[in-house]
Structure 1
């Protein structure tokens, strides 16, 4: 992208297609939302996010180390609170590569390059294995703490890869590796392997996965 993109680093990994609700209370990000609301075309109300590797997203002087690959987010819903904060919803679009983070006058900005998703032919046996592994994981998690998921899995291989990546409760670094996978085939292979490892942990130490989910399940805050 030729112009710097407003940036909103988060303590989680966002995947294309995800709906991301956020409570915006810090001054610089309130200014970011106000800036987006001045954009006439709703489709152009976009900003970027990358996951915070270490540090924190609050405070003017907090040091941050962020991952380089993230997503473009489109602002879709805004509710302004009486105290000046916002509750917003954004939808993740394509991936981005952060080339440079800039402080900006009012809010962080980034020089980014868009990362298109390559078109690949995903083998049918891999699709079947990914679906079956997730179904087994879902059954195991339901027995431990109730069904944490809802809905049906998409048939499209790209959407399936992103959906399984978003739904699988994993540590930050492993979620980032799913985002950075080269294409849908590699992403489905990786998420299937990670789900298989989680299932093994369930069989060996029944109390472990519930603890992992409580610690690492995706949250927008």
Structure 2
């Protein structure tokens, strides 16, 4: 299903279930928030985000070429207006999208997108699910040891699809790997990719006893 959505490109990959705090200060994005607040049904206050490719800037010279094609649909859930006209908002990832073209007739960035279906009905081998869970538990223990305090805390969901998105969002990975996980077409493939990436990360930490180069993202994950 195709539709036009406001776009808020980010320098990170957002996954379904993630909570994303944003400080809105540019006028074009203030206009986006103001328009969303005019939507009476809070569940319909949605916009899209796609990651900005490294080495490019979003602008007239690059346009859609500076953006990854697969991104996430976000629902605006919290808004705080500031005296200077800016907003502090929180949005939650609701699903995936594929960007087909940029729309230029609005006061804010927008795009024609295809909404991608979820994969909660996928059949996933139980042993793959448990392998991914076990590897992540070992990974965060090892990471906490290197960091000197407990990190990546919290319980993991039982649902395989939610689990795959949780692990994708919280494992400390570079943008290309995170984007590949977002683009994975089903839960089984995503969990298989995560198990490989977790093994690679733990081997790297064994060889170089220091924190991964990627900082913990300033985002959270929520199944709500």
Answer whether TM exceeds 0.5 for this pair: yes
Cα distance in structure 1, aligned partners of 2:90 and 2:153: 20
1:72 is the counterpart of 2:111: no
Match of 2:106 in 1: 105
Aligned partner (choices 127, 130, 137) of residue 129 of structure 2: 127
8 Å contact kept, 1:19–1:91: yes
Give 1:50 deviation, angstroms: 0.5
Shift >4 Å, 4+ stretches: 60-64
8 Å contact kept, 2:172–2:212: no
Change (3 A) 1:185 1:40: same
Q: Secondary structure at the match of 1:53?
A: coil
* 5+ residue gaps, structure 2: 220-224
Match of 1:26 in 2: 26
Aligned partner (choices 180, 188, 211) of residue 191 of structure 2: 188
Give 1:102 deviation, angstroms: 1.7
Give 1:2 deviation, angstroms: 5.0
Cα distance in structure 1, aligned partners of 2:177 and 2:208: 20
Q: TM-score if structure 1 supplies the norm length?
A: 0.92
Change (3 A) 1:2 1:121: closer
Q: Secondary structure at the match of 1:199?
A: helix
Give 1:28 deviation, angstroms: 0.5
Q: TM-score if structure 2 supplies the norm length?
A: 0.91
Cα distance in structure 2, aligned partners of 1:202 and 1:87: 36
Q: Secondary structure at the match of 1:188?
A: helix
Cα distance in structure 2, aligned partners of 1:162 and 1:56: 27
Aligned residues: 214
Change (3 A) 1:45 1:200: same
8 Å contact kept, 2:205–2:212: no
Aligned partner (choices 151, 167, 170) of residue 167 of structure 1: 170
Match of 1:4 in 2: 4
Q: Secondary structure at the match of 1:19?
A: strand
Q: How does 1:26-65 map to 2 (within 5 A)?
A: 26-54=26-54, 55-56=56-57, 63=62, 65=66
Give 1:63 deviation, angstroms: 4.3
Cα distance in structure 2, aligned partners of 1:88 and 1:76: 8
Match of 1:88 in 2: 89
Cα distance in structure 1, aligned partners of 2:62 and 2:26: 16
CA-atom RMSD, angstroms?
Answer: 1.6
